[in-house]
């Protein structure tokens, strides 16, 4: 089992891939084409599980909208970044590390001034390669409007005690030139397995080990009030909050074919440290439900009305810079 960090630094038209053994800091040899004017006073964050690697046909449980159109997903993410004037984009279930992957396409779509890193994770069969003709490896990614100077990743999911699953789920953190905050992202295992608590504890310890104020984003596969997330909720402020606050709190939609009913849940969150001297750091917290597919997932049914089964989550945070 290993975690790998792949970097994309925007230096002219060159694409730099950096692969790092788990838990080792690396220096980026390149950065953004346009140097940052300074740390952002308000950090504008987008996190989104784009279900970029999910398989399945319409009507199957693994179905995901536009899974075979990575260029459309990348273009939408870049457009959203411009619309939100974003500083940070974090993605889960994203393919990276190869030409034509989501990460490579996003790097091109974002243009000058952005840096991107990707960390791979394995499916339960132990494979990392994205399926059905998609380029790259499955994992998570962080893009920032600035120069990433160091990146670190490790697998946070303990081994399956039954020895059946070989799945790995990384946590990835990056340091950005001039920023006080460290953006991080992860993907937590669903369900009630005991190792979920171990994974969450490992993620918290990893982020805390960076020694800086952090923004921890991702698909946590449970709402913020779940007991398993208590170590994070007790350590950070969170958007959307446990009570479902935020403009449109549902971040995930599923179709129940037996009950023929829609199921909505708040699974995706942005956890963040409150900077010293800033009383109310959260300026805005909302969910982009209009980008989430909410159609019935049935064979021969209507086409999807969104880009993923998850919605992006947005947070604007005062940094105190």
> Which of 6-20, 56-70, 198-212, 280-294 has the least mean pLDDT?
6-20
Average pLDDT of span 284-305: 93
Least confidently predicted of 28-37, 188-197, 208-217: 28-37
Q: At a CB cut-off of 8 Å and minimum separation 6, what does 280 contact? A: 318
CB neighbours of residue 80 within 10 Å: 18
pLDDT single digits (tens) 229-288: 999 999 999 999 766 544 458 999 999 999 999 999 999 999 999 988 888 899 999 999
254: left (phi over 0), alpha (psi -120 to 50) or beta: beta
Query: For the chain, what are the domain ranges?
Result: 5-318
For the domain 5-318, what is the CATH superfamily, name and number? Answer: Endonuclease/exonuclease/phosphatase (3.60.10.10)
**Average confidence score pLDDT of the chain:** 88
Q: Identify the pLDDT of residue 38.
A: 73
Pairing of strands 214-219, 182-187: parallel
| C-alpha neighbours within 13 Å on the C-beta side of residue 103 | 37
Please give the share of the chain, as a percent, with pLDDT higher than 70: 86
4: pLDDT strictly greater than 60: no
Distance of CA 130 to the CA centre of its chain: 17
Query: What is the per-residue pLDDT for 23?
Result: 37
What pairs with residue 187 in β-bridges?
219
Three-state secondary structure call for residue 171: strand
- The residues near 176 (Cβ < 8 Å, ≥ 6 apart) are 36, 115, 144, 146, 147, 148, 149, 182, 183
CB-CB contact of 49 with 93 (8 Å): yes
Band the pLDDT of 301: cuts 50, 70, 90.
confident
**Looking at 247-251, 281-285, 295-299, 316-320, which range is the least confident one?**
247-251
End-to-end CA distance of the chain: 39
| Residues 246, 254: Cα–Cα separation, whole Å | 20
How high is the pLDDT of residue 242?
Answer: 66
Q: What is the pTM of this model?
A: 0.88
């Amino acid at each position: 089992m290993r975690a790998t960090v792949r970097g994309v630094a925007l230096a002219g038209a060159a694409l730099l891939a950096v692969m790092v053994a788990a838990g080792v800091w690396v220096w980026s040899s390149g950065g953004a084409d346009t140097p940052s004017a300074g740390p952002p006073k308000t950090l504008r964050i987008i996190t989104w599980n784009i279900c970029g690697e999910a398989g399945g046909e319409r009507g199957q449980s693994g179905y995901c909208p536009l899974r075979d159109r990575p260029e459309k997903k990348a273009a939408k993410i870049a457009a959203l970044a411009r619309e939100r004037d974003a500083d940070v984009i974090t993605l889960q279930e994203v393919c990276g590390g190869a030409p034509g992957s989501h990460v490579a396409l996003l790097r091109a779509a974002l243009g000058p001034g952005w840096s991107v890193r990707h960390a791979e994770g394995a499916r339960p069969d132990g494979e990392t390669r994205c399926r059905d003709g998609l380029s790259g490896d499955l994992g998570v990614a962080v893009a920032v409007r600035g120069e990433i100077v160091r990146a670190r990743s490790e697998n946070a999911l303990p081994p399956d005690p039954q020895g059946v699953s070989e799945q790995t789920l990384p946590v990835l953190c990056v340091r950005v030139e001039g920023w006080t905050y460290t953006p991080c992202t992860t993907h937590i295992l669903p369900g009630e397995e005991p190792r979920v608590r171990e994974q969450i504890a490992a993620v918290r310890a990893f982020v805390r080990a960076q020694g800086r104020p952090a923004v921890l984003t991702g698909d946590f596969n449970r709402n913020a009030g779940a007991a398993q997330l208590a170590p994070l909720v007790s350590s950070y402020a969170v958007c959307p909050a446990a009570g479902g606050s935020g403009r449109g709190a549902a971040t995930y939609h599923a179709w129940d074919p037996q009950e023929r009913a829609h199921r909505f849940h708040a699974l995706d969150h942005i956890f963040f440290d409150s900077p010293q001297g800033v009383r109310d750091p959260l300026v805005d917290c909302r969910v982009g439900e209009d980008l989430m597919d909410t159609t019935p997932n049935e064979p021969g049914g209507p086409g999807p009305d969104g880009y993923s089964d998850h919605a992006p989550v947005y947070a604007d945070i005062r940094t105190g810079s």
